[in-house]
C-alpha cells in the first residue's frame, strides 16, 4: 500500500494541475465573462472518469462536467492521443448551448491514463438573438450544436470544424480566442498530469486515487449520518418562462435517511415553452452544490464526496429537459438551489439561513462599439444580500450562493467595452429583511447609455419575495426599472429592451431574508447598522423600535 505522504503528494499534484489549467485559461481568454467573472468549470478525471481534482470557478458547475464528459465519451468512444472535443448539446452538456465543454485524453507511455475537461461561456454561436436568448421555444433557436465533435485530431486542428464555428458566430474573434484559451489550458493540464505518471507508475496512482476517493465517500457518508433524519418539502416560484407571463411552480422534497441524501423534484411544473427548462445534469450539479455545502465544505472535491447523493426528476419536466425543450436561460437552477435550503430549513433550522436575494440579477448590453465598429455583448451578474442565520447577520451585497467563486464584471470593463455609463453603484439602505439577525443588503445600480443598443435583463425572481425564517421579515424582491422617471417607465424581469443614447435603467437587487423576531435584535447592532448606512434612522425606529 502506498504511504500517506505519497498519497498527499499525488493528490495535491492533481489539484495544482487543475489550478494551472485555470491560470492558463484566465490569462489567455478573450471574453470578460471568462477572465473577469470566471464563468467556467475545470475538472480532471481518472481513466474511469472519476473526478479526482477540480479548480475554482462557477460553483454551479460543480459536477456538471462529470455528467457531460461521461456523455461525451459515450458518444465519441475512446479518443486518441492529441484529440480534443467540443460538446454543447444541452441535454448531455448539463448546461445551455453557450457553455462549451471541451475535453481531452491524457496519455503516458502510449496508455490512456486520464481525462481533462473545461467548460466556459462563449459569447455567440449563432443563436436566433445576439448575446443571450430569452424567449426561445426549442433547442434549434439556441445556436450551433456539437454532440462531441473533434476540434483537434492527433494534435492537429480540424480546420473545417474551426471554420464552421467561426462562420456561425457574430463575434468570431472572441469565440475562437476563447476556444484557443481552453485548448491552451487543456494542453497545460495534459503536460502536468503526464509528468505525474512519468514520476509514479500507473498502478501507484490508481491506488492513490482509490484511497482518496474512498476516504471522501466515507467522509460524506459520515456527514450524512450526523444530519437530522427525515423528509421535508418546499415550494417556490419563477416569475415566468420568457414566453408567457405565467409563474412557474418549483417543488422539491429532500429526504435524509439510511445513509442517503435524496433530492426529488416531483410536483414541479412540467416542461414549459420558454428557455428555463433545466437539463438533468444541471439539476444534479445544483443539488451537488447544496449537498457539498452542508456535508464536506472544507474538503477538496472528488467523486467520492457525492456518493450518498441521489437526484430524482421525471423526464419532460422543468428539472429534466428532453429534446427539443428550450434550455438557454439557466436561472431556474439559481432559484432552485435555495429551494433545497428552504426544504432543509424545516428539518435543521439551527443550520440554515433565510433566503438570500433569491436570484442572480443579470444584465447585458449588446450593440456596436463606436470606437471599433465591432459588435459587443458584455454581461454582469449583480450581487444580492445573503440571508440572516440563527447566529449572525447575512453578508451583502455579495454574489449569489450559486456563484460564490465567480466575480462581478468590473465597472471599468463594462464602460470600456460597452455603451453603458454607471452613474451610481451603492448599497441599498433598508433593502435587507429585518430580524434578530438581519439579511445582507442589496445593491442599486443606475445606468445611462451613451450609445444605442439593446439592454438585456435576466432575472427570474422579481414577483415573489425572498423568504425569511423564525419570525424574520421578508425583503422586497429584485427590481429592474427601465426608463425611470419618464412616461415609458416600467418594471421588467427577463426582457430584451432597445435603448438609445441618453436612456437610463435602474437595477435594484434584493437583500437577504431576516432570521428571528426583529424586536429581539441588539439595539447596539441597529445603531451600528444606521452608522454604516445599512438601515435608515426611520427604519431603525419603525422596525426595530430603536432611536439612533
- Give strand pairing partners of 119: 41, 101
* Angle, CA 23 vertex, CA 20 and CA 26 arms, to 5°: 150
Task: Give the residue among 289, 385, 271, 297 at the shortest CA–CA distance from 337.
Answer: 289
Query: What confidence score (pLDDT) does residue 404 get?
Result: 72
Query: What confidence score (pLDDT) does residue 29 get?
Result: 97
Query: What confidence score (pLDDT) does residue 59 get?
Result: 82
Task: Give the residue among 75, 34, 80, 83 at the shortest CA–CA distance from 55.
Answer: 34
Locate 425 and state its grid cell. Answer: 453603484
**Residue given cell 480546420 in the structure block:** 159
Query: What confidence score (pLDDT) does residue 60 get?
Result: 80
| Segment 191-204 mean pLDDT | 95
Q: What is the enclosing helix (H) or strand (E) of 421? A: strand 420-427
**Mean residue pLDDT across the chain:** 96
pLDDT exceeds 80 at position 62: no
pLDDT exceeds 90 at position 500: yes
CB atoms within 10 A of CB 500: 10
pLDDT exceeds 80 at position 374: yes
Locate 234 and state its grid cell. Answer: 418546499
Locate 330 and state its grid cell. Answer: 439557466
Q: What is the enclosing helix (H) or strand (E) of 523? A: helix 523-532
Query: What confidence score (pLDDT) does residue 57 get?
Result: 85
The tens digit of pLDDT for each residue in 272-327 reads 999 999 999 999 999 999 999 999 999 999 999 999 999 999 999 999 999 999 99
Locate 46 and state its grid cell. Answer: 481518472
Rg of the Cα atoms in the chain? 23
Query: What confidence score (pLDDT) does residue 310 get?
Result: 98
* Angle, CA 266 vertex, CA 261 and CA 268 arms, to 5°: 125
pLDDT exceeds 90 at position 444: yes
| Segment 383-387 mean pLDDT | 97
pLDDT exceeds 80 at position 1: no
CB atoms within 10 A of CB 450: 14
How far, in Å, CA of 307 to CA of 219, rounded?
10
How far, in Å, CA of 246 to CA of 416, rounded?
38
pLDDT exceeds 90 at position 56: no
In order, the DSSP letters of 251-283 are EEEEEEETTEEEEE-TTSPBP-SSTTPPPHHHH
**In the structure, what pLDDT confidence band is assigned to residue 253 with cuts at 50, 70 and 90?**
very high
CB proximity list for 202: less than 8 A, separation 6 or greater? 108, 111, 113
**In the structure, what pLDDT confidence band is assigned to residue 111 with cuts at 50, 70 and 90?**
very high
* Angle, CA 189 vertex, CA 188 and CA 195 arms, to 5°: 95
* Angle, CA 42 vertex, CA 40 and CA 48 arms, to 5°: 140
pLDDT exceeds 90 at position 548: no
Query: What's the whole-model pTM score?
Result: 0.96
User: Among the residues of 392-448, which ranges form H helices?
Assistant: 411-417
C-beta separation of 466 from 358 below 8 A: yes
**In the structure, what pLDDT confidence band is assigned to residue 61 with cuts at 50, 70 and 90?**
confident
Looking at the chain, the whole-number percentage of residues with pLDDT higher than 90 is 95
CB atoms within 10 A of CB 70: 16
Query: What confidence score (pLDDT) does residue 266 get?
Result: 98
**Residue given cell 476516504 in the structure block:** 215
| Segment 482-503 mean pLDDT | 97
| Segment 157-165 mean pLDDT | 98
The tens digit of pLDDT for each residue in 64-97 reads 899 999 999 999 999 999 999 999 999 999 999 9
User: DSSP E strands: which ranges in 297-409?
Assistant: 309-312, 362-368, 375-381
| Segment 253-266 mean pLDDT | 97
The tens digit of pLDDT for each residue in 171-184 reads 999 999 999 999 99
Q: Is 237 helix (H, G, I), strand (E, B) or coil?
A: strand
Q: What is the enclosing helix (H) or strand (E) of 204? A: helix 202-226
Query: What confidence score (pLDDT) does residue 262 get?
Result: 98
Three-class DSSP labels, 162-174: HHHHHHCCCCHHH
How far, in Å, CA of 503 to CA of 499, rounded?
6
**In the structure, what pLDDT confidence band is assigned to residue 2 with cuts at 50, 70 and 90?**
confident
Sheet harboring 40-46: ordered strands across?
A: 51-55, 40-46, 111-121, 99-108, 84-87, 147-153, 156-157
Amino acid at each position: 500500500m502506498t504511504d500517506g505522504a505519497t498519497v498527499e503528494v499525488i493528490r495535491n499534484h492533481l489539484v495544482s494541475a487543475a489550478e494551472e489549467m485555470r491560470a492558463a485559461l484566465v490569462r489567455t481568454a478573450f471574453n470578460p465573462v471568462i477572465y473577469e467573472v470566471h464563468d467556467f468549470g475545470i475538472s480532471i478525471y481518472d481513466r474511469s472518469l472519476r473526478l479526482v481534482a477540480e479548480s475554482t470557478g462557477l460553483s454551479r458547475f460543480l459536477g456538471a462536467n462529470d455528467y457531460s464528459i461521461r456523455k461525451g465519451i459515450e458518444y465519441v468512444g475512446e479518443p486518441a492521443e492529441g484529440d480534443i472535443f467540443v460538446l454543447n448539446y444541452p441535454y448531455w452538456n448539463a448546461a445551455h448551448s453557450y457553455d462549451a465543454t471541451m475535453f481531452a485524453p491524457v496519455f503516458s507511455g502510449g496508455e490512456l491514463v486520464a481525462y481533462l475537461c473545461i467548460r466556459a461561456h462563449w459569447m455567440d454561436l449563432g443563436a436566433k438573438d445576439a448575446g443571450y436568448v430569452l424567449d426561445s421555444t426549442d433547442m434549434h433557436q439556441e445556436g450551433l450544436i456539437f454532440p462531441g465533435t473533434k476540434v483537434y485530431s492527433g494534435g492537429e486542428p480540424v480546420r473545417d470544424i474551426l471554420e464552421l464555428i467561426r462562420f456561425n458566430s457574430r463575434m468570431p474573434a472572441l469565440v475562437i480566442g476563447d476556444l484557443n484559451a481552453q485548448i491552451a489550458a487543456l494542453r497545460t493540464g495534459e503536460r502536468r498530469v503526464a509528468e505525474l505518471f512519468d514520476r509514479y507508475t500507473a498502478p501507484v496512482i490508481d491506488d492513490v486515487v482509490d484511497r482518496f476517493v474512498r476516504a471522501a465517500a466515507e467522509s460524506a457518508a459520515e456527514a450524512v449520518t450526523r444530519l437530522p433524519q427525515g423528509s421535508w418539502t418546499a415550494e417556490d416560484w419563477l416569475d415566468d418562462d420568457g414566453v408567457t407571463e405565467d409563474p412557474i411552480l418549483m417543488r422539491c422534497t429532500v429526504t435524509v435517511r439510511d445513509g442517503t441524501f435524496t433530492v426529488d423534484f416531483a410536483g414541479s411544473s412540467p416542461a414549459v415553452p420558454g428557455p428555463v427548462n433545466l437539463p438533468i445534469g444541471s439539476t444534479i450539479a445544483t443539488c451537488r452544490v447544496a449537498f457539498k455545502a452542508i456535508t464536506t465544505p472544507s474538503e477538496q472535491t472528488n467523486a467520492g464526496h457525492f456518493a450518498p447523493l441521489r437526484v430524482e426528476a421525471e423526464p419532460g419536466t422543468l428539472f429534466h429537459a428532453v429534446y427539443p425543450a428550450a434550455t438557454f436561460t439557466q436561472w431556474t437552477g439559481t432559484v432552485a438551489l435555495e429551494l433545497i435550503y428552504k426544504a432543509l430549513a424545516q428539518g435543521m433550522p439551527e443550520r440554515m439561513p433565510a433566503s438570500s436575494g433569491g436570484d442572480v440579477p443579470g444584465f447585458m448590453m449588446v450593440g456596436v462599439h463606436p470606437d471599433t465598429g465591432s459588435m459587443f455583448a458584455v454581461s454582469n451578474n449583480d450581487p444580492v444580500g445573503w440571508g440572516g442565520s440563527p447566529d449572525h447577520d447575512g453578508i451583502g451585497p455579495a454574489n449569489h450562493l450559486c456563484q460564490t467563486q465567480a466575480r462581478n464584471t468590473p465597472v471599468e470593463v463594462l464602460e470600456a467595452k460597452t455603451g453603458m455609463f454607471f452613474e451610481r453603484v451603492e448599497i441599498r439602505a433598508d433593502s435587507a429583511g429585518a430580524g434578530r439577525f438581519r439579511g445582507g443588503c442589496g445593491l442599486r445600480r443606475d445606468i445611462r447609455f451613451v450609445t444605442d443598443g439593446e439592454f438585456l435583463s435576466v432575472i427570474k425572481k422579481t414577483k415573489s419575495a425572498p423568504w425569511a425564517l423564525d419570525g424574520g421579515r421578508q425583503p422586497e424582491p429584485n427590481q429592474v426599472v427601465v426608463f425611470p422617471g419618464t412616461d415609458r417607465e416600467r418594471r421588467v424581469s427577463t426582457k430584451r429592451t432597445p435603448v438609445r443614447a441618453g436612456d437610463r435603467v435602474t437595477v435594484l437587487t434584493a437583500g437577504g431574508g431576516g432570521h428571528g423576531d426583529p424586536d429581539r435584535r441588539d439595539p447596539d447592532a441597529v445603531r451600528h447598522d444606521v452608522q454604516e448606512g445599512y438601515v435608515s434612522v426611520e427604519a431603525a425606529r419603525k422596525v426595530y423600535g430603536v432611536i439612533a
